[in-house]
Structure formats: structure tokens, C-alpha cells
């Protein structure tokens, strides 16, 4: 076969891997192992530093606010840290007071809970006891023989007395449990002060340490990451405080003792992912069961936590977080397990913010993009790859969901050109390589037709209001940022159409010979309708030599051929255009080749041989060509 007839080489629909170090893979793995070992062995030092860094993110907005009122850097940092220390000590004192007030009644509460447990056991085991009793009566057993041996001598009691503790030992028992927490808190506050005082200097040192080929971009990325993390932490604190406040007030009116204690604990425990809210609810619900002899208080307390947790989790958090914290559910589970294994309970509390820091780092540092792919909640595939995967799976509902998101800031023609057509081109390449079965092609065609019908409710126009990304989420992926957004064609009003273009179908959208060309023709016809020109879709068989004489050409002013693949010398296109010239001598003939890399669009010799009036490489260009032809044919209309 001659080279010119082979057509372009077909590339498989590949998905490029995330950016990772190439030749240094083993070295990267070794470094990761060393880092994990260092995190485990150095947790005594690293945990206070990590807490200080996270606390600095929380206090940074307050420091900026104080500096805006001309308080100065050092006074602003000191005031913010003193306020944080006051809040920590106040919360600790409040918890201690509440626990002290609750302690004298604990024996009574334990007795009541035990009584309720016994009553439940009596109710549940009564039938079992009756059954066992009947079984015992039905069987015979010999009484145990009594031992006739003489009892031995009575044992001599031995009493071991410990010496009375000295004052030093008493002081050590009282002080030792609080020394480590106080020392940790002191280290956290001191490191926080230095971080807040030297923020810009630390940022510059990090840039110098890791290096940067684009200083401006790195600086903006680090500032943006710090701002987003600070806002996320403050938002989480506000949501958890709301949870604690509402549950505390509810428990007070229900009658549960120490409602303030349970409200504060609810705020703190809700920072622990997954198990925090159940732990916050278990203690006051158990106390409600102990306070009242009946069961009404327990049911009211359980209902309160159930309703508040559902409202906070399903309504408030999606609203303030923008439906996402930036982490996938899988990554939250894995990170909670990993950090708990590494740092214990404090690691469980820090797992979500630490993982969020890694995701933000992966979204700004190209070499660490794999962190965003593994831990982030954004789609790992590009919009085109995701579209093709959903078409291949026969799931038009997911494809429509993706389209609705993209159509919030782009017209329908831009979505068709940049996502749908390119996704169909991936399918056409796979079909040319012989990896798509006939069943898969049929599934893609059906899913594509369903999607086009579903998107008929959208106009091919710029959205009136563009939805901005929520501040609580991180920046969009590079693939989403690089996805082009083309303006919509200018539609024609009905009165602007010439009389010859007002028929039922002045434009014929004819599919090429490929199995997916009809989908492209359907999209083009839909866009023409939305821009004021009626169109009709025809299959390729309708213009064959045997059937073109039967073609209804009344009122047709333009013919648009759609091809997703055109391998080799396009002789069949040339012969098809000749038949159309004979059948429609006055109509304009347009050939649309998707995508633009087709050889015929760049080879003047082939274009002349084919003989079409217009060549386009996108649906938007085809619509504009039809609109321009209609305007050129416009005639003065009598008033």
C-alpha cells in the first residue's frame, strides 16, 4: 500500500501518568522510608512543631487583622498568642470545673446504669431461663457427692503494708501527669510565636532550600496555600463550635447535667475524623441513661445528637466547605490510619489537616503532583479522558453530570468542541486500531445520543453568571485550567433569516462513513437549531449512489459533512461531493473534519481535489460558516 493511503498512525487512548521523578524513583522511595522513620522516631519533637505550624495557620488571619489596625508585628503576634493561650486555659479550667462538679454523683449514676442493664438482661433472658428450666426438669442428674475428708488447718492471713508516701512522692504523683502537657504547650506557643514573627523569612528559606525556576509562581503558590489552609482551619473550628454550642444548649434543656462540659467536648472531639462525633455523643447519652430512672431523657439526647450531626454534616459543611474539603473519602480513611499508627491519638486528630497540607503541596509543586492524584478529591483524568471512559462504560448520566459542571462557565458549543468531539476522537482511534468491539461502539453511540438529547435544554450562549470556585477548595487542576473556553457564535434572529433559509431544514447534516460520525452530525444540528437555523440529520446511507436520487432536497441551502476519521486519500469524499453537486447545484458544501490535525485541512492539493466550499475543524466554525452563508444570502424583507 502506498504511504499516502495508509493514513495517520492511530494512537491509543492513553492516560498520561502523574508527574513523578523518573530516574530517581528508587532514591525517592528510600527518602520516603527515611522520612517516615524520622517522623516515628522524632515524634516527641515533631508533634509540638506540627501543632505550632497548624496553630500559626489559625492565628495568621488574627495577626493580619491586628496589623491592619497599626498594632505592629510583635504586639500583634503577642496579643494573638495570649488570646490563644487564654482560650486554651479557659477551656481547660471549664472542663476541670465541670468534671469536679460531676464527680460526687458518679457512684449514683453507676448504680442506676447497672440497674438498667440488669433490667434489660432480665427481660431478654427471661425466656431463655424458662427454657433452660424446662430442659433441666426433663433431664435427671445425680447430686454431687459430698467430700467426707476432714478439713485442713485454716490458712494464716498475711497482711502486706506499704510505707506511707513521703511528701516528695505525693508531689511527684500529682505533678508528673501535667508536666508533659504543660511542656508541650509551652513549646507549641514559643514555636508559634517565632513562626508568626518570621513568616516571610521562613517562606524565603523554603524557596531557597527547594529551589524554584519561577520565583513569582512559587511565591504566589505558597501564599495561596497558606491562605486557603488558614481559612479551612478557621471554618472547621467554626463548624465544630456550632456543633458543640447547639448540642450543649439542647442537653441543658433536656436536663442532662454538665451540659457545658459535653458541648466543649463535642467541639473538641469533632476534630477527630469519623469517630469524633460518636464519641462526643456516647458520654452524654450514657449520662442521660444514668440520671433518670426512665428512658425518655436518653431518647431525647440520642435524637438531639442524631439530628444535629446530620444537619451539620449534610447541610452546613457542604455549604461552608463548597461541597468538599479537597480530600477524597478514601484518603481520609487511609490518612487517619497512617497518622494514628505514626503518632497515636494526636496523629488521629492531626490526620485531616496534615493530609490537606500534602494535597495543597501536590497541587502547587509539579514533582509532587502524585500526592494530589492519590489523596485529592478531584478527578484524576482530564475532562476528555473522563468523557470517553464514561461513554465506553455506557453511563450517560455521569457524562451529563460532568457536562453540567463544565457548562457553568462555557457555552454548549465550547463543551462539544473541547470535550465531546475530542472524546469521540479517542474512540475513533481505538476503533481504527481494532480494540473496540461492535457492542462497545453501539453502547457509545447510544450513550452519545442520550447525552445530546439531555443537553438540549442548554443554550449555546455565554452563561449569565459564572460560578466561582469556593474559597475553601484548592485551585483547579492543570487540565481544568488549560481546557479552552471559546465564545458562542452570534445567533440569527428569525427576522434576520432570508426567505430561502426559513424552510423546515435549510441545512442537511450528513454523517460520514465512520460509526461515530452521526453523533458529530447530531451535535452540529443541535447547535444550528440553537443559533436560529433549522437542520436535519441524515445517515451516510441516505446519500449513497442508490439512495441519493430519493433525497428530499426541497429548501436545502447548505450541506454539512462530518468526519471523525478520514484515513488515506479521501476519494470517497470527493465522489460524494460530486453527487451532492449534481443533486444540489446551488447549495454550499461544508466538510467538517474533527479534529483539526487531518491532512486535508493543511494540504492545498487535497483540498482542491475534494472540492468543498468550506472546511472546518470545529463545530463552532461550522455553525459560524452556516450563519455567514445565511447572512450573505439575506435579501431585503418588505415591512
DSSP string, 182-206: HHHHHHHHHHHHHHHHTHHHHHHHH
Determine the Cα–Cα distance for residues 527 and 520; give it in Å rounded to an integer. Answer: 11
* φ and ψ of 487, to 5 deg: -70, 155
Domain that residue 238 falls in: 214-375
Highest mean pLDDT: which of 162-171, 469-478, 509-518?
509-518
For residue 637, the model assigns a pLDDT of 45
Whether 382 and 479 have beta carbons less than 8 Å apart is answered as yes
Query: Hey, what's the torsion of the CAs at 336, 341, 343, 346, to 10 degrees?
Result: 40
- Helix, strand or coil for residue 625? helix
What are the grid coordinates assigned to 55, written together?
Answer: 496553630
- For residue 256, name the pLDDT band (cuts at 50, 70, 90): confident
> Please, where are the H alpha helices in 211-322?
215-254, 259-269, 276-291, 296-311, 317-321
CA distances to 20, 352, 402 from 326, rounded to whole Å, are 21, 10, 18
297 and 187 fall within a common domain: no
Q: Which of 607, 612, 614, 610 is nearest to 628 (CA)?
A: 614
Q: Which of 444, 455, 377, 446 is nearest to 416 (CA)?
A: 455
443 and 588 fall within a common domain: no
For residue 527, the model assigns a pLDDT of 92
Determine the Cα–Cα distance for residues 601 and 604; give it in Å rounded to an integer. Answer: 8
Whether 235 and 254 have beta carbons less than 8 Å apart is answered as no
pLDDT mean over 598-605: 61
Determine the Cα–Cα distance for residues 19 and 385; give it in Å rounded to an integer. Answer: 17
515 and 463 fall within a common domain: no
Mean pLDDT of the chain: 78
- For residue 73, name the pLDDT band (cuts at 50, 70, 90): confident
453 and 528 fall within a common domain: no
447 and 514 fall within a common domain: no
pLDDT mean over 315-342: 73
Kind of pairing between the strands at 588-593 and 535-538: unpaired
604 and 513 fall within a common domain: yes
Residue 37 lies in a domain: no
- For residue 138, name the pLDDT band (cuts at 50, 70, 90): low
pLDDT digits (tens, 9 = 90+) for 414-424: 899 888 988 89
Number of domains in the chain: 4
Work out the angle at residue 241's Cα, subtended by the Cα atoms of residues 235 and 247, and round it to the nearest 5 degrees. 140
350 and 367 fall within a common domain: yes
Q: What is the CATH number of the domain that holds 533?
A: 3.40.50.280
408 and 514 fall within a common domain: no
358 and 394 fall within a common domain: no
pLDDT over 50 at 147, yes or no: no
193 and 312 fall within a common domain: no
Amino acid at each position: 500500500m502506498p504511504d499516502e493511503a495508509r493514513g495517520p498512525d492511530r494512537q491509543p487512548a492513553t492516560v498520561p501518568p502523574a508527574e513523578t521523578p523518573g530516574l530517581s524513583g528508587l532514591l525517592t522511595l528510600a527518602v520516603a522510608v527515611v522520612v517516615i522513620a524520622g517522623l516515628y522516631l522524632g515524634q516527641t519533637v515533631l508533634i509540638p512543631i506540627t501543632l505550632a505550624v497548624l496553630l500559626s495557620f489559625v492565628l495568621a488571619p488574627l495577626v493580619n487583622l491586628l496589623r491592619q489596625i497599626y498594632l505592629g508585628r510583635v504586639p500583634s503576634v503577642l496579643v494573638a498568642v495570649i488570646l490563644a493561650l487564654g482560650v486554651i486555659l479557659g477551656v481547660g479550667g471549664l472542663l476541670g470545673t465541670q468534671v469536679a462538679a460531676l464527680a460526687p454523683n458518679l457512684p449514683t449514676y453507676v448504680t442506676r446504669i447497672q440497674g438498667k442493664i440488669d433490667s434489660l438482661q432480665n427481660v431478654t433472658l427471661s425466656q431463655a431461663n424458662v427454657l433452660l428450666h424446662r430442659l433441666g426438669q426433663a433431664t435427671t442428674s445425680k447430686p454431687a457427692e459430698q467430700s467426707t475428708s476432714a478439713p485442713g488447718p485454716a490458712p494464716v492471713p498475711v497482711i502486706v503494708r506499704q510505707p506511707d508516701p513521703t511528701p516528695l512522692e505525693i508531689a511527684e504523683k500529682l505533678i508528673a501527669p501535667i508536666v508533659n502537657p504543660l511542656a508541650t504547650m509551652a513549646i507549641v506557643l514559643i514555636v508559634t510565636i517565632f513562626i508568626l514573627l518570621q513568616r516571610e523569612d521562613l517562606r524565603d528559606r523554603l524557596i531557597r532550600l527547594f529551589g524554584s525556576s519561577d520565583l513569582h509562581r512559587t511565591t504566589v503558590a505558597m501564599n495561596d496555600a497558606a491562605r486557603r489552609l488558614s481559612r479551612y482551619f478557621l471554618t472547621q473550628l467554626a463548624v465544630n463550635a456550632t456543633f458543640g454550642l447547639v448540642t450543649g444548649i439542647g442537653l441543658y434543656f433536656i436536663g442532662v447535667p454538665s451540659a457545658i462540659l459535653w458541648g466543649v467536648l463535642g467541639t473538641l472531639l469533632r476534630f477527630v475524623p469519623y469517630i469524633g462525633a460518636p464519641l462526643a455523643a456516647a458520654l452524654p447519652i450514657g449520662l442521660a441513661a444514668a440520671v433518670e430512672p426512665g428512658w425518655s431523657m436518653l431518647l431525647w439526647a440520642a435524637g438531639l445528637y442524631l439530628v444535629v450531626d446530620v444537619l451539620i454534616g449534610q447541610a452546613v459543611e457542604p455549604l461552608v466547605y463548597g461541597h468538599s474539603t479537597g480530600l477524597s473519602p478514601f484518603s481520609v480513611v487511609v490518612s487517619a490510619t497512617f497518622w494514628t499508627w505514626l503518632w497515636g491519638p494526636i496523629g488521629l486528630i492531626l490526620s485531616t489537616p496534615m493530609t490537606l497540607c500534602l494535597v495543597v503541596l501536590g497541587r502547587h509543586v509539579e514533582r509532587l503532583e502524585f500526592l494530589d492524584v492519590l489523596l485529592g478529591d478531584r478527578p484524576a483524568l482530564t475532562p476528555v479522558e473522563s468523557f470517553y471512559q464514561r461513554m465506553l462504560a455506557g453511563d450517560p448520566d455521569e457524562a451529563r453530570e460532568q457536562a453540567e459542571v463544565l457548562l457553568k462557565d462555557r457555552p454548549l458549543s465550547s463543551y462539544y468542541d473541547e470535550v465531546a468531539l475530542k472524546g469521540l476522537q479517542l474512540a475513533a482511534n481505538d476503533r481504527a486500531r481494532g480494540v473496540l468491539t461492535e457492542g462497545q461502539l453501539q453502547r457509545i453511540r447510544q450513550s452519545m445520543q442520550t447525552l445530546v438529547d439531555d443537553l438540549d435544554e442548554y443554550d449555546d450562549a455565554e452563561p449569565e453568571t459564572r460560578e466561582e470556585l469556593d474559597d475553601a477548595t484548592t485551585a483547579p487542576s492543570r487540565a481544568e485550567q488549560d481546557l479552552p473556553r471559546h465564545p458562542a457564535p452570534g445567533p440569527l434572529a428569525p427576522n434576520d433569516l432570508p426567505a430561502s433559509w426559513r424552510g423546515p431544514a435549510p441545512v442537511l447534516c450528513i454523517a460520514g462513513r465512520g460509526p461515530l460520525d452521526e453523533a458529530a452530525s447530531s451535535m452540529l444540528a443541535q447547535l444550528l437549531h440553537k443559533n436560529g437555523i433549522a437542520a436535519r440529520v441524515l445517515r451516510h446511507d441516505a446519500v449513497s449512489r442508490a439512495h441519493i436520487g430519493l433525497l428530499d432536497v426541497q429548501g436545502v441551502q447548505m450541506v454539512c459533512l462530518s468526519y471523525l476519521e478520514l484515513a488515506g486519500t479521501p476519494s470517497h469524499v470527493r465522489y460524494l461531493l460530486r453527487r451532492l453537486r449534481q443533486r444540489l447545484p446551488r447549495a454550499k458544501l461544508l466538510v467538517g473534519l474533527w479534529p483539526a490535525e487531518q491532512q486535508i485541512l493543511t494540504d492545498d492539493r487535497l483540498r482542491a481535489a475534494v472540492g468543498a466550499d468550506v472546511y472546518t475543524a470545529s463545530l463552532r466554525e461550522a455553525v459560524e460558516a452556516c450563519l455567514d452563508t445565511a447572512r450573505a444570502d439575506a435579501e431585503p424583507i418588505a415591512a
